[in-house]
Structure 1
Amino acid sequence: MNPIKLFLKSIWQYKVKQRPVVLSHEVNQKCNLKCDYCDYWRKDNTEETMNTSQIKNLLDEASDFGITLYNMWAAEPLLRKDIDEILEHAHKKQLMTSMVTNGTLLKQKTSQLKHLDYLSVSLDGIQSNIETRGVKPQKIIKGIKEAKKKNIMTSINCVITQKNLDELTDLVKLADELDIIISFEPVYKNKEIDNETWSKTGIKNNKKHKNAINKLIEMKEQGYPIINSKTYLKMIKNPYEIKECSQNDMILHITANGEIKKCRAQNQVIGEYKKGLKNQWKETINKRKQITEECQGCPFFGYVESNLIRKLKIEPIINATKYI
Structure 2
Amino acid sequence: MKKTAGLRFLKNHLSNRVFGSTKRPTYAYITITSRCNSQCRYCDMWKNKPYNELNTDEWKRIIDELVQLGVVTLTFSGGEPFLRKDLFELASYAKSRGLITMVVTNLSLFKERDIGKIAESFDFFGISIDSTQPEIYKEIRGVDWLERIKEDVPKLMTGLALLKAEVNICGMVTITNKNSDEMHDVLHMIFDDLGMDTVSFNLLDPSGGANAKELTPTAEQINDCKQVISDHKSSYPISNSTRFLSQIGNFDYRCNPWKCMQINSMGILLSPCLFSSSRPDIFPDGKKTDLCKHKLSDVWRENQEIYSKYANCNLCNLGCVVESAWSTYDLNFVLNDSFRGTILPTMKRVNERNAGRR
Taking the TM superposition and a 5 Å limit, the aligned residue runs for 1:73-112 are 73-108=77-112, 109-112=114-117
Whole-angstrom distance in 2 between the partners of 1:46 and 1:120: 23
**Of 124-133 and 253-262, the range deviating more from structure 2:** 124-133
Q: Which residue of 2 aligns with 1:168?
A: 183
Checking the alignment, whether the CA contact within 8 Å between 1:26 and 1:255 is kept in structure 2 is yes
C-alpha contact (below 8 Å) 2:30/2:74 kept by paired residues: yes
How many Å separate the matches in 2 of 1:223 and 1:316?
21
The answer for the alignment partner of 2:144 in structure 1 is 135
Give CA deviations for 1:138-189 in whole Å, capped at 9, x if unaligned: 3123333333223331101100001101111112112322141001010002
**Contact kept in structure 2, 1:190 and 1:265, CA below 8 Å:** no
Residue 182 of structure 1 is matched in structure 2 by 199
Change (3 A) 1:159 1:97: same
Residues in 2 aligned to 1:176 and 1:61: alpha-carbon distance in whole angstroms: 38
SS of 2:131 mapped into structure 1:
coil
1:1-324 to 2 correspondences below 5 Å: 1-2=2-3, 3-16=5-18, 18-43=23-48, 45-108=49-112, 109-113=114-118, 114-127=120-133, 128-133=136-141, 134-148=143-157, 149-150=159-160, 151=165, 152-177=167-192, 178-190=195-207, 192-194=209-211, 198-199=213-214, 201-205=215-219, 207-220=220-233, 222-236=234-248, 239=249, 241-242=250-251, 244-247=253-256, 249-261=258-270, 262-267=272-277, 268-274=286-292, 275-292=294-311, 295=313, 297-312=315-330, 314-315=332-333, 317-322=335-340, 323=343
Percent identical among aligned pairs is 22
Distance, in Å, in 1 between the alignment partners of 2:225 and 2:209 is: 28
Q: CA deviation at 1:119?
A: 0.6
Mapped to 2, the partners of 1:225 and 1:130 lie a distance apart of 27
Q: Which runs of 5+ in 2 are unaligned?
A: 278-285, 345-358
Kindly tell me the number of residue pairs found equivalent between the two proteins: 314
TM, length-normalised to structure 1: 0.88
Q: Verify the 8 A CA contact 1:63 1:93 in the aligned structure 2.
A: yes
Letter in 2 for 1:246: C
The SS at the match of 1:99 is strand
Amino acid of the structure 2 residue aligned with 1:131? E
TM-score relative to the length of structure 2: 0.81
CA separation of 1:246/1:296 partners in 2, compared to 1, >3 Å: closer, same or farther? closer
Counterparts of 1:306 and 1:284 in 2: how far apart (Å)?
20
Distance 1:296 1:115, change over 3 A: closer
The CA deviation at 1:6 is: 3.4
| Cα-Cα RMSD | 2.2
Q: Distance in 1 between matches of 2:8 and 2:52?
A: 33
Amino acid at match of 1:287: I
Moved more, 31-40 or 109-118: 109-118
> Can you give the 5+ residue segments of structure 1 that lack an aligned partner in the other structure?
none
Paired with 1:89 and 1:168, the residues of 2 have a C-alpha distance of: 37
Secondary structure at 1:203 match in 2? coil
Residue by residue, what CA displacement relative to the aligned partner does 1:101-129 show, whole Å, maximum 9, x if unpaired? 11111245434422211111111012222
Tell me the distance in 1 between the aligned counterparts of 2:105 and 2:225: 25
